[in-house]
Amino acid sequence: MYRRHFSYASNANARRVIIMTLNIAEIRKQTPACNDLIHFNNAGASLSPLPVHQRLLQHLALEQQTGGYEAASQAAPAVENFYAAFARLLHCQTNEIAYAESATHAWNSLFHAIPLQPGQRILTGQSEYASNYLALLHMARSKNLRIEVIPNDSQGCICLEHLTAAIGDDVGLIALTHVPSQCGVVHPAAEVGRLARAHGILYLLDACQSAGQVDLDVTELGCDMLTGTGRKYLRGPRGTGFLYVRRESLQRLQPDRIDFHSARWTSENHYEFRDDARRFESWECSVAGKIALGAAADYATQLGMPDIERRVRMLAAQLRTTLRGLPGIQVHETGEQLSGIVTFSSGHESAETLQRRLRDSSINTSVTRLNGNLLDLPRRGLGDINRASVHYFNTEEEIHRFCQVLHNT
């Protein structure tokens, strides 16, 4: 399961690699909670596979046996692997990767390092994540900046025409959430990247929901900075995250915090920030979390991100189709580019009652609340909504069972 199965077509002109499908039975064995649960809350926090969970526990045990500093030094290659694993996942260099305690922490470290000047504009999308938008508002207030929210088009994606028209010399940043948490669309992040690069504007991409479900390539995405969390589609531990900074963009960013890990104290009154993305790290962190998150990135890469992406899309499409056939259920996604996040409402029950009823049948879902999504949900005429988020280890049988329980009000 852990090794990629592939064979080559014999066509001499094009030696295509034919990828075999994921071994779902084996994957589910490594996800023991699948025996007792239907876990459709992967956009909240997914289930860690055994190899990832074991790496976490192993290091905690080592810390207990030998001491925290001694354990870290013994596990140095596994700690270093974190950077290599994310470089493989995102198709970048190890010196462009840093560890963070959460996606919010990562995003804020980068955002506060951007030299924004009073009067400048920040362009963002209608589905920007709540905490990011709050940080924009807070910064706009203290630095006298202007935020411009680019509306979505008829497909539910950021309107590229509107974005193009909004670009000007006074734009200091484009901040976009790739896959929103409150809607199952995938925004055209690479097209936004092309615009940002053409105009030399810094581009900060929140990949919190896309990392682990979408095959990400930072060169194709064209972003200067990208952030994510461990616990969602990457299936890593809670309290872990990561960031990427393009090598060429590093010198444009001044971290607003410093310690003797992120910088070198060169003489009594002088210091130099590290010359890599780790200038955004703190010395103290969960070493076990970092090792396990590296293992989670490796797990995803070894299964194959293109296969993961295909299967997540296939399952989510099936779930939407089945839900649309149920009386009283309204599915909220439109458009073509969709993720593993499926949002819907029932005409019979409130979002919370429905979530509780599903939970009573051992089905995990979540509720997306209006008060956490004031940019997006009111514009779409929605209040609190239900969210079912599938991952590759879910099955068609689970979708069938989920819809049966949903139907039985």
Ligand X SMILES: Cc1ncc(COP(=O)(O)O)c(C=O)c1O
- Residue 289 interacting with ligand X (CB under 6 A): no
Question: Which residue of 31, 108, 126, 229 would you call a contact of ligand X, by CB under 6 A?
Answer: 229
Applying CB under 6 A, the span of 4-12, 97-105, 142-150, 274-282 interacting with ligand X comes to 97-105
Q: How far is the CB of 45 from ligand X (least distance, A)?
A: 9
- Residue 208 interacting with ligand X (CB under 6 A): yes
Q: Say how far apart CA 133 and CA 147 lie, in whole Å.
A: 9
Buried-exposed string 265-274: b where 16+ CB fall within 10 A, e elsewhere: eeeeeeeebb
Site string for ligand X, 115-134 (x = CB under 6 A): --------------x-x---
Burial class (CB in 10 A: 0-12, 13-18, 19+), 146: middle
Q: How far is the CB of 242 from ligand X (least distance, A)?
A: 10
Give whichever of 106 and 315 is closer to ligand X, judged by the CB atom: 106
Task: Count CA atoms within 13 Å of residue 312 on its CB side.
Answer: 32
Buried-exposed string 29-50: b where 16+ CB fall within 10 A, e elsewhere: ebbeebeebbbbbbbebbbbbe
- Residue 296 interacting with ligand X (CB under 6 A): no
Q: Under 8 Å CB-to-CB from 363, ≥6 apart: which residues?
A: 37, 38, 40, 401, 402, 405
Give whichever of 30 and 48 is closer to ligand X, judged by the CB atom: 48
Q: How far is the CB of 286 from ligand X (least distance, A)?
A: 13
Count of residues in the chain: 409
Applying CB under 6 A, the span of 60-68, 101-109, 133-141, 379-387 interacting with ligand X comes to 101-109
Buried-exposed string 311-323: b where 16+ CB fall within 10 A, e elsewhere: bbbebbbbbbebb
Q: Return the biggest CA–CA distance within the chain.
A: 72
Q: How far is the CB of 182 from ligand X (least distance, A)?
A: 8
Applying CB under 6 A, the span of 159-167, 194-202, 206-214, 275-283 interacting with ligand X comes to 206-214
Question: Which residue of 206, 215, 224, 281 would you call a contact of ligand X, by CB under 6 A?
Answer: 206
- Residue 241 interacting with ligand X (CB under 6 A): yes
The neighbour count for residue 194, using CB atoms within 10 Å, is: 15
Q: Which residues of the chain form contacts with ligand X (CB under 6 A)?
A: 102-104, 129, 131, 177, 181, 206, 208-209, 229, 241
